[in-house]
Chain A
């Protein structure tokens, strides 16, 4: 079946550092979305990308839809403690079978 490879699996960074994570796939997709899951909560949408090459920002977050339509990147600038959580990439599969990456767990040291 379709799979999304998300990396890195986890990150331990110092407050103020920038963060980069990415998702790749062997399949082509028309949408890429990035979610954040705070501890003890359900995932919440951060950024949605609908066009190859699209670069979209949401505050300190920037996400890009790869030109090949097989990958996407999420960057967080100047990290703060509340950035802690698990970040998931997601795209749409066939017949509503939503596909999530395995997640990147971010820890921020004050």
Chain B
């Protein structure tokens, strides 16, 4: 079972570049989430989605954009990368009515 798949696993960006972090899940979960985790710190919610076509801001949305055109995919876009966005990004999903979150393996992003 694939679960939640994130790509790429690692990426180095230059300041001002843009990129899209991909996340896909094959469990037909309604809810999907993007978190960032800075070194030694907890998980901060960037954006979440309760279903296709619906997205909402989390705790730290500035500098990011998301879309949810299908149930399976929830890409996270960085338009103008900044050093402060150096972090590990985790995508997660939960089923409708459930609270257990299933996480991807993470994307380690460095902005130089």
Contact = CB atoms under 8 A, between A and B. Distances in A.
Interface stretch (B11-19, B79-87, B95-103): B95-103
A83 B88 CA distance: 22
A16 to B, nearest CB: 25
B33 interface: yes
A40 B90 CA distance: 11
Q: Which of A1, A42, A48, A102 has the most CB of B within 10 A?
A: A42
Contacts, number: 63
Given A100-B42, A103-B42, A44 B103 contact: yes
Contacts of A41: 105-106
Interface size class of B (residues with CB under 8 A): 20 to 34
B101 A98 contact: yes
Interface residues of A, number: 26
B43 interface: yes
B94 to A, nearest CB: 7
Contacts of B92: 42, 98
B26 interface: no
Contacts of A43: 43, 90, 101, 103
Given A44-B103, A90-B99, A103-B41, 7 more contacts: A42-B90, A42-B104, A42-B105, A43-B103, A88-B43, A90-B101, A91-B99
Interface of B: 4, 30-31, 33, 35, 40-43, 45, 48-50, 56, 58-59, 90, 92, 94, 99-101, 103-106
Interface of A: 1, 6, 31, 33, 35, 40-45, 48, 86, 88, 90-92, 95-98, 100-103, 105
